[in-house]
Amino acid sequence: MIELDLDVEDLVGMRFAVSPLMETVMSLRTPLLPTYFVLQMPWWRRVEKDVAHLDMRPLASLVGVRRWVPDFLTPRPEVPVPDFEDELEIVRRTPPEKVAADIRRAHAGRPVPSILRLDEPARLRDRLADLLREYWETALAPYWTRMRGVLEADMLYRARQFTRGGARLLFADLHPAVRWEAGVLRLDVPAIDYRVDVTGRGLCLMPCLFVRSTAPPISADEPPSLAYPARGIATLWETEPPTGGEAIVALIGRRKATLLGCLDRPASTLDLAERLGITPGAVSQHLSVLHGAGLVTRARVGRVVLYARSELGSRLLAR
């Protein structure tokens, strides 16, 4: 059990972030546990051949018996959507002694695979960073626009939950392992036990596509953060967007009807353009018309504008 003590200032300063590095590191577990990460397997089937030329053994060896990964590979983001290279630079600056300690901790007392040369932690750290960059560029970067759209949509939803009902509503449906009681956030995490006072350090919440449960830092010494399963994972790899009935197609046109059908969750212009195979400019024009008609809403998350169906748009699509 992990317990995080949060005061009023912590709640006001609580923030959300998306971490491309965390997605990269957590995704390493997918091919190792295919029956556990069922929803993520469509992604793996797409990229399996593409990563076949990479030496994945050191990266796969990072995953411990409890599905843990070393803390130094998932640094807490300091901005809402950091650049992958900036996050990787933080990894490269990790002190060698922390590299070795975090890897041992992730393996929970079990022997560390010999391919992870803990007698040369600085060299191992740099080798892992190089491999992670290759893996990211091959397996995740080509799909990052789509992935980021799902993650940003989750952040928007959670922010609205917090605005409407405070911490109680926000944490109520974050995950069954999360409980909020009298200023304490309790995380039911097997085999990890610590209690920390968050005061002054802030709490960062991170939606993640490659976790099924909550994923806090293993060590209590890390900055407070919590990765949790993002909403919409099951729909991430859908290829055929709904178009609605023929009546709505006749009313607003097939392209706008298709866009409206895609907006069951918030999405950005780039996300929609990639999913539909049309230019962002064309998507923007159609969205402008739909927004003017009151069929979609829009909200800014950081530098990105997310669109979603309005109540009127949902009723129209249902006809």
**pLDDT confidence band for 240 (50 / 70 / 90):** low
Only one residue has tokens 């911490």, namely 167
Residue ranges and CATH numbers for the domains of the chain are: 2-14+147-231 (no CATH), 19-144 (no CATH), 238-318 (1.10.10.10)
Segment 133-146 shows an average pLDDT of: 93
Cα angle value 27/31/35 (rounded, 5°): 105
Whole-prediction pTM:
0.78
pLDDT in tens, 173-206: 888 999 888 888 999 988 888 888 888 788 899 9
- 8 Å CB contact between 200 and 27: no
**pLDDT(302) > 70:** no
**pLDDT confidence band for 166 (50 / 70 / 90):** confident
pLDDT in tens, 214-223: 999 998 899 9
pLDDT score of 242: 55
